[in-house]
Amino acid sequence: MSNVVQSGKKWDFYVFFDHFILDFIYRLSQVENSYLIMFRGIHKVTVDSKGRFAVPTKIRDLLNREQVFDLVLTLNPWDRALWVYPLLEWERIEGVLTSLSDFDKQTRRTKQIMRGYASDCNLDPQGRILLPQEIRTLICLGKESVLLGQGNKLEIWDSTVWKEERDSWLDSVENADPLKSNGLDSLSL
How many domains does the chain contain in total?
A: 1
Q: Which CATH number goes with the domain that contains 48?
A: 3.40.1550.20
3-state secondary structure 113-181: HHHHCCEEECCCCCCEEECCHHHHHHCCCCCEEEEEECECCEEEEEHHHHHHHHHHHHHHHHCCCCCCC
Q: What is the pLDDT of residues 153-162, one digit of tens each?
A: 999 999 999 9
Domain assignment present for 19: no
Q: Residue 108: which domain range?
A: 42-174
Tell me what pLDDT residue 37 has: 85
pTM of structure: 0.75
Question: Which residues of the chain are modeled with pLDDT < 50?
Answer: 1-7, 10-34, 187-189
